[in-house]
Amino acid sequence: MGKRPGLLYEALQRLDGLMAIGQSRADAKAQARAQGEHFWSFSDGKIHSFQTRATYQDMVMRFLRWCRATHSTKRLAEVDQRADKLVSAYLLLHIQEGYSPWTLATERSALRLFFGSPLLAENASFPPRHREAIHRSRQTPGSEEQSSPHFQPEHWQPLLAFLRVTGLRRREVSMLRVGQIQEEPDGHIVIHVQGKGGKVRQVPVISGQEATVLSLVQGRNEEEKVFAHIPSHLDIHAYRRQYAQALYQQLSGLPLPPATGRLPRGILDEEAVLAVSRALGHNRRDVVLTYYLR
């Protein structure tokens, strides 16, 4: 008789069953809206990107190891029966330990998806989220890497220049092929990207920086990757933020919105904000203003 799978192996099997690579989350969201559903946030109960899988898997495994160590759970069915109580206790512990509100929210999202319960740990009260507390991406591009002995910026100048004028995510730039970069009749460069959830978008290159991109692909095979390797210590988000701000100023002709306080009425070019949001692959005004433009 074969050995029964352990807790963590069962969890990996469940996560495998939640994968929906190549399926469009946007289509599922549109279908739900067509059926009359109204929601602030949306999940179809599936994982649509490898990066989300990696993040959620790490969080789920840490939770299950905690369950095994503190509650002696050896089978996933045991955790399923007590999921709400265990998750609530786990999140309360992390609140007491000072985890950021963003990390707490991501942990709960990961566990809700894993257990198939959108109301899991609904009564967990997280600390308020303030824009001033966001540190990710707010470093000057290159500052963190320059302090790391594992990363030498001078060895990666073509990549860094490319990121400043395109704002792609780590996985997007690591998978980018030469043929996805196209020159338009007016001379502008557009990058065709398949991003999170299988969503396809066109990313405009910052005007005046077309040569930066063309120099990387001229004379190369269309199926060849633009970059063979992306260094692990590179702070991609800092470059996405720099790109977003440059694109907004290019499209609007306005200065960036103030970093603190309420936004005065009429200070923003709303069409430019939406265009930047789409270029980044978010399509959400609040995300762009909170994390990128302010």
Same domain, 117 and 186: no
CA gap 203, 190 in Å, rounded: 6
Q: Is position 27 within any domain?
A: yes
Same domain, 108 and 181: no
Last residue of a domain, one of 107, 129, 151: 129
Same domain, 111 and 177: no
Q: How many CB atoms lie within 10 A of CB 72?
A: 8
Same domain, 111 and 85: yes
Q: Is position 135 within any domain?
A: no
* Burial class (CB within 10 angstroms; exposed 0-12, middle 13-18, buried 19+) of 40: exposed
Same domain, 155 and 247: yes
pLDDT tens by residue, 33-47? 777 665 545 678 899
Q: pLDDT-based confidence at 150, cuts 50/70/90?
A: low
Signed CA dihedral, 141, 283, 40, 195: sign only = negative
Same domain, 86 and 170: no
> For residue 129, what are its two tokens?
């989220």
Last residue of a domain, one of 129, 151, 183: 129
Q: Is position 137 within any domain?
A: no
Same domain, 229 and 207: yes
Position 1 scores a pLDDT of 44
CA torsion 40-43-48-52 (nearest 10°) is 70
Q: Which of 31-35, 153-157, 196-200 is the least confident region?
A: 31-35
Q: Is position 113 within any domain?
A: yes
Specify which residues 47 forms β-bridges with: 19
Q: Which alpha helices (H) appear in the chain, and where do they start and end?
A: 7-18, 25-34, 50-71, 76-81, 83-96, 101-115, 143-146, 157-166, 170-175, 210-217, 236-252, 270-280, 285-288
pLDDT tens by residue, 5-61? 899 999 999 999 999 887 777 777 777 677 766 554 567 889 988 888 999 999 999
pLDDT above 90 for 142: no
Q: Residue 81's domain spans which residues?
A: 7-129
Same domain, 35 and 99: yes
Region 237-266: what's the mean pLDDT? 92
Same domain, 66 and 172: no
Instruction: For residue 246, give the nearest of 145, 176, 142, 163 by alpha carbon.
Output: 163
CA gap 93, 124 in Å, rounded: 11
Higher pLDDT, 234 or 180: 180
Same domain, 178 and 219: yes
pLDDT above 90 for 132: no
Q: Amino acid identity, residue 252?
A: S
Q: Is position 134 within any domain?
A: no
Same domain, 159 and 272: yes
pLDDT above 50 for 138: yes
Last residue of a domain, one of 85, 101, 129: 129
Q: Which of 17-21, 22-26, 162-166, 232-236 is the least confident region?
A: 22-26
Number of domains in the chain: 2
pLDDT tens by residue, 277-292? 999 998 888 889 988 9
CA gap 38, 131 in Å, rounded: 27
Q: How many CB atoms lie within 10 A of CB 102?
A: 13
Q: Is position 174 within any domain?
A: yes
Same domain, 118 and 163: no
